[in-house]
Amino acid sequence: MLRRFFQLKSWPFVVAVLFIGGAALAVLGSRSGAAGPSLWSGTPPTLASGQTQWVAVAKADTAAVVNISTTQVVKNPMASDNPENPNDPFQEFFRQFMGNMPRTYRTHSLGSGFIVRPDGYIVTNNHVVDGATDITVKLSGSRHFTAKVVGRDPKTDLALLKIDAQNLPIVTFGDSDKLQVGEPVMAIGNPFGLEGTVTTGIVSAKGRVIGEGPYDDFIQTDASINPGNSGGPLVNQAGQVVGIDTAIVSQSGGSVGIGFAIPINEAKTILPQLEAKGHVTRGWLGVSIQPMTGELAKAFKLEPDHGVLVADVLPNSPAAKAGLKTGDVITEYDGHAIAKAGDLPRLVSNTPIGQSATVRVLRDGKPLTVTAQIATLPESEQVAEATPAGGKSLGLTVQPLTPALAKRLEVPDKAGLVVADVADGSPAADAGIQPGDVIVEVNRQPVHTVAALRKAIADQKAGEPTLLRIHRKDASLFVAIEAPRAPEG
């Protein structure tokens, strides 16, 4: 299956995310033994008589690449009783000629991943498992396991899974910063469900921005990547993982020799957090930026391709407290030159929370240096495992309400949590919670942070409903979410 990821300006080319994903964990063991805290440095596989280098790499790494199949509940837009479009004439048409159709249905998809620790930790793309109700991992051979999501990060499209197994073969990490354009690479995965497929090519480019998010920094390769490869490893001639196959550019949905992989060095900084707490905490400066184009540079009387332009400074943010202003041009962050717009978000996100960073700017053409104390990025978080013992998730994804969000959603600019997503078939969906609702109270207590929401839900007695007070545009109402049932058996 293929999911549209980004549409290029020259239609009909699209960059598509493949349902097959992967990444890597920064706490690995050796290739064969028990788990350990350090990365396995990796050496080129030993060549047997008559073997080529790629034969040895394929034999060494394929055993650690897995097939991931998922089941997902999807809303049926043609459902005859779809409450979102009660007066849709097409619904009446389908009701007359095809009868009532179910409001939801189940879909199945395939993807890839790779084992990074012998005790069953597996990396894949977030889009492979996003919204999945069931996840099955098939190892090389015939063994199947039910997997659980340990953590995921939609912003970098990475997810970490766990299966109950021991002494598994693993892949090892290389250094994606050392990759050179023209260097040979191999993609391993399950394109179109064909297990254990390997394709070779070269690194076509580095640092590609394809519109996936604020942290785009993709490796481009001409190694054939197709639907089903997402999450599979991109390896070098030493058999080390240097990237995670994630997306393609295609007219037909198949490979045309333009594929993209997440650099493994980016995954190394993300995956330990996913293992430890299930999500990623990032640094936050609090500015909106845009590229310094030739036209803008001329208007600001600056050299083109010189830094990034500050389009907005959020109130009470680290940037505002440091004295940054709209119209400043950021040229350097914490000793790193800012050559393009994507450089700044990555550098800020990797800055430890509470650490001070020097920011060099041009203001009205004159150089200026300020110091900002980096805070925590307000990110969406899944309210998971925050239910009474034995219960399931309420199915809510929330994020703090900012003034900009309040204006866009047409709700009062007050403290609260915005519902970013509601899982299909979840208790929250059954209660009528909608994306864009603002949660202001839980069980008659004000709630301002995700942590407070988690605690309020976790502290309530098992079996009791969760009472939310929400704002929806100009209305305020109470909603009771029935406690999710514990799994049987």
Catalytic residue positions, numbered: 127, 157, 230
Q: Where does residue 210 rank: exposed (0-12), middle (13-18), buried (19+ CB within 10 A)?
A: middle
CA distances from 270 to 53, 346, 397, 409 (A): 31, 12, 20, 31
Pair type for strands 184-189 and 148-153: unpaired
The separation between CA 358 and the C-alpha centre of its own chain, rounded to angstroms, equals: 29
What backbone phi and psi angles, to 5 degrees, belong to 219? -85, 130
Interatomic CA distance for residues 407 and 414, integer angstroms: 11
Rounded CA separation 209/447 (Å): 37
Q: Rounded to an integer, what distance in angstroms lies between the CA atom of residue 243 and that of residue 123?
A: 12
Q: Which bin fits 316, alpha (ψ -120 to 50), beta or left (φ > 0)?
A: left
CB 442 within 8 A of CB 396: no
Q: How many angstroms separate the CA atoms of 264 and 235, rounded?
A: 10
Contacts of 481 (CB under 8 A, 6+ apart): 394, 427, 428, 430, 431, 433, 465, 466, 468
CA 161/CA 166 separation, integer angstroms:
14
- Residue 446 CB contacts under 8 Å (≥ 6 apart), including other chains: 415, 440
